[in-house]
């Protein structure tokens, strides 16, 4: 059964369809919301509210969109609303530099060799706090959630070309900030934020 079939069943007031949608989407949505709000429990609250909204507004789903895009848009908007209501930014994580406070060049190379995806994501999320709201949302959706440019455009409400512009600006800012604040990580993370043309 496709996501669309599930959503159509949801529109027929089939409660099992909501359970099915939650089982398919909740984990990825919590991760996405966490990247925006910076707190795992807050992210879960955002996702719970997302599915409440999906149920309440199930009749508003437009088949021209994918189910994934529609649900992500609701979750993204709720996560941003959460940040606004708290008048907060992405929370700062413990400085990664502490790992290298007393380390020499040899240890730095050894630590860089062990750099894993979760560390990269934490650093990028911290640096993303300095982006504009739209740049941050585009970067998180495109680079970390792995959505296409067209899906990102539908979620944030702009054209593919505007998505590419926001993404280019975000990568450029992050590259500069990475070099300034975490020079020891430049080689390990630079590829994830290198400004380039992207096909979308």
Query: Residues 118, 159: one domain?
Result: yes
Query: Residues 110, 187: one domain?
Result: yes
The domain that contains 64 carries what CATH number? Answer: 1.10.1740.10
Of the residues 56, 86, 116, the one at which a domain ends:
86
Query: Residues 53, 123: one domain?
Result: no
Query: Residues 64, 131: one domain?
Result: no
Q: Alpha carbon of 151 to those of 154, 160, 163, 188: distances in Å?
A: 5, 9, 10, 28
pLDDT for 138-149, tens place per residue? 888 887 777 888
pLDDT at position 196 is 47
Residue 93 inside a domain? The answer is no
Query: Residues 48, 73: one domain?
Result: yes
pLDDT bin (cut points 50, 70, 90) of residue 200 is very low
What's the mean pLDDT in 158-172? 89
> In terms of residue numbers, what domain contains 184?
103-193
Flag whether pLDDT at 131 surpasses 60: yes
Query: Residues 130, 71: one domain?
Result: no
User: Where does residue 130 rank: exposed (0-12), middle (13-18), buried (19+ CB within 10 A)?
Assistant: middle
pLDDT for 46-56, tens place per residue? 999 999 999 99
Distance, CA of 67 to CA of 77 (rounded, Å):
16
Residue 47 inside a domain? The answer is yes
Distance, CA of 184 to CA of 90 (rounded, Å):
23
Residues 6+ apart with CB under 8 A from 130: 173, 177
The domain that contains 168 carries what CATH number? Answer: 1.10.10.10
What's the mean pLDDT in 6-34? 91
pLDDT bin (cut points 50, 70, 90) of residue 86 is low
Residues 6+ apart with CB under 8 A from 186: 178, 179
Residue 199 inside a domain? The answer is no
Query: Residues 108, 74: one domain?
Result: no
Flag whether pLDDT at 96 surpasses 70: no
Residue 16 inside a domain? The answer is yes
Residue 97 inside a domain? The answer is no
Looking at the 3D structure of the chain, how many domains does it have? 2
90: left (phi over 0), alpha (psi -120 to 50) or beta: beta
Query: Residues 154, 121: one domain?
Result: yes
Query: Residues 147, 116: one domain?
Result: yes
pLDDT at position 82 is 85
pLDDT at position 129 is 78
What's the mean pLDDT in 64-73? 88
Nearest partner of 190 among 164, 172, 163, 168, judged by Cα = 172
Distance, CA of 142 to CA of 42 (rounded, Å):
22
pLDDT bin (cut points 50, 70, 90) of residue 30 is very high
Counting residues of the chain whose pLDDT is more than 90, the rounded percentage is: 25
Q: Alpha carbon of 54 to those of 112, 141, 148, 167: distances in Å?
A: 42, 19, 22, 28
Residue 164 inside a domain? The answer is yes
Query: Residues 147, 183: one domain?
Result: yes
Average pLDDT for the chain: 77
Residue 94 inside a domain? The answer is no
Flag whether pLDDT at 115 surpasses 60: no
């Amino acid at each position: 059964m496709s996501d669309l079939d599930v959503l159509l069943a949801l529109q027929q007031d089939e409660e099992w369809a909501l359970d099915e949608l939650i089982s398919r989407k909740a984990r990825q949505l919590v991760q996405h919301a966490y990247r925006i709000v910076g707190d795992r429990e807050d992210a879960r609250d955002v996702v719970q509210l997302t599915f409440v909204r999906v149920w309440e507004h199930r009749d508003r789903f437009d088949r021209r969109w994918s189910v994934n895009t529609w649900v992500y848009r609701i979750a993204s908007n709720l996560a941003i609303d959460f940040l606004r209501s708290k008048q907060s930014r992405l929370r700062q994580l413990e400085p990664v530099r502490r790992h290298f406070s007393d380390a020499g060049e040899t240890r730095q190379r050894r630590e860089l060799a062990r750099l894993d995806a979760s560390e990269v994501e934490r650093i990028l999320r911290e640096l993303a706090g300095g982006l504009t709201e739209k740049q941050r949302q585009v970067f998180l959706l495109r680079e970390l959630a792995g959505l296409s440019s067209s899906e990102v455009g539908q979620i944030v409400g702009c054209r593919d070309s505007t998505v590419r512009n926001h993404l280019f600006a975000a990568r450029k800012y992050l590259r500069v900030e990475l070099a300034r604040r975490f020079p020891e990580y430049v080689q390990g993370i630079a590829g994830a934020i290198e400004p380039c043309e992207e096909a979308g």
